[in-house]
Amino acid sequence: MKYCGRRFQLAEIETIRALLAVTPRLSRYRLSTMTCEQLNWRRPDGGLKDMSCRVAMLRMQADGLISLPPAKRAKPSAQGDHPDITRAVDRPPIVPEVDLKRLAVEIVVTKHDSLLWNAYIQRHHYLGHQLMPGAQLRYFVRVEGQVIALLAFGASAWKIKPRDDYIGWTAEQRQRNLHFVVNNSRFLILPWIRQANLASKVLSMISRRLPDDWQTRYSYRPLLLETFVEDLRFRGTCYQAANWHTPGKTQGRGKLDRYQDRAVPVKSIWLYPLAKNFRRNLCA
């Protein structure tokens, strides 16, 4: 059974059940770290993949394989619990003028910035905010101190034929090297911002600095960026202007579609190589 890109053997499911049986009051956080330690489930930098493990266990519970202890505390609401953040994501009384030469890209680091980023996405992005498991980076783009755009990058899709054909790797190579592909899961320019060429400029700035930021946080450099553009909503013009390539479209199945229901919209796939020899390294 496969969850979060990892294939779990029955013996490993039994290991999780045994941990639950021995320590039924264990927190979900501690359970995920102990599971990662026992299964040696780690990131390339050696850290535990505890967030991916928690997501995997939630899906195992939904499939009836395990029964997790109740969450010890509810997820805080950025909108309801922090009125200052709620006010901050509203349209400002004075919309800043955007000078493309004075854009500032800032990585999300502090808890306050994380809550602020989440609130902007929840309020203004059509997909809303969802927790991202695994390695990830989030960014603000500001002008004169005011937020004008937000982006997120995280784990790539497990298997997409047009992308995999574009790379030319085998299933074994994909399983071994997939972490070198990073997904642009959110890109939002705030609705009151109107500036020609802003989106492509932001994408170009981010693609230049993301490899260094990723190296600093996770101790390896990604080789390829990917994203998915919903055809009925967008045309992907900004990605095209920023020199991304489109090798094809998704089948509309979604990464959790086991029965080929095709219940999600068809999307165009866009890719951006971060190194000249990306194919050779991804196929290594």
Residues 282 and 272 sit within 8 Å (Cβ to Cβ): no
Average confidence score pLDDT of the chain: 89
Give the tens place of pLDDT for each residue, 52-69. 898 899 999 999 999 988
Give the tens place of pLDDT for each residue, 197-222. 999 999 999 999 999 999 999 999 99
Contacts of 208 (CB under 8 A, 6+ apart): none
Closest CA to 39 of 12, 17, 70: 12
The pLDDT confidence band at residue 130, using thresholds 50, 70 and 90, is confident
Locus of tokens 């783009």:
141
The DSSP call for residue 283 is T
What pTM value is reported for the model? 0.78
User: Does residue 137 or residue 3 have the better pLDDT?
Assistant: 137
Closest CA to 157 of 58, 53, 257: 257
CA distance 9 to 236: 40
User: Does residue 262 or residue 191 have the better pLDDT?
Assistant: 191
Tell me, what amino acid is at 177? N
- Torsion angle of C-alpha atoms 140, 181, 75, 30, degrees rounded to 10: -130
Q: How distant is the alpha carbon of residue 73 from its chain centre?
A: 24
User: Does residue 40 or residue 75 have the better pLDDT?
Assistant: 40
227's enclosing H/E stretch is strand 224-230
Give the tens place of pLDDT for each residue, 241-274. 999 999 999 987 655 544 455 567 899 999 999 9
- Mean pLDDT value across residues 119-139: 90
Q: Per DSSP, what are the bridge partners of residue 225?
A: 182, 272
User: Does residue 81 or residue 82 have the better pLDDT?
Assistant: 82
240's enclosing H/E stretch is helix 237-241
The pLDDT confidence band at residue 73, using thresholds 50, 70 and 90, is low
CA distance 122 to 278: 34
Locus of tokens 């509810």:
74
pLDDT at site 257: 47
Is a pLDDT exceeding 90 seen at residue 79? Answer: no
Which tokens sit at 54?
């928690």
Q: In 3-state terms, what secondary structure has residue 264?
A: coil
CA distance 48 to 126: 32
Contacts of 105 (CB under 8 A, 6+ apart): 139, 140, 141, 202, 205, 206, 209
Contacts of 141 (CB under 8 A, 6+ apart): 103, 104, 105, 106, 147, 148, 149, 150, 151, 202, 205
pLDDT at site 158: 87
Give the tens place of pLDDT for each residue, 2-26. 888 788 999 999 999 988 888 777 7
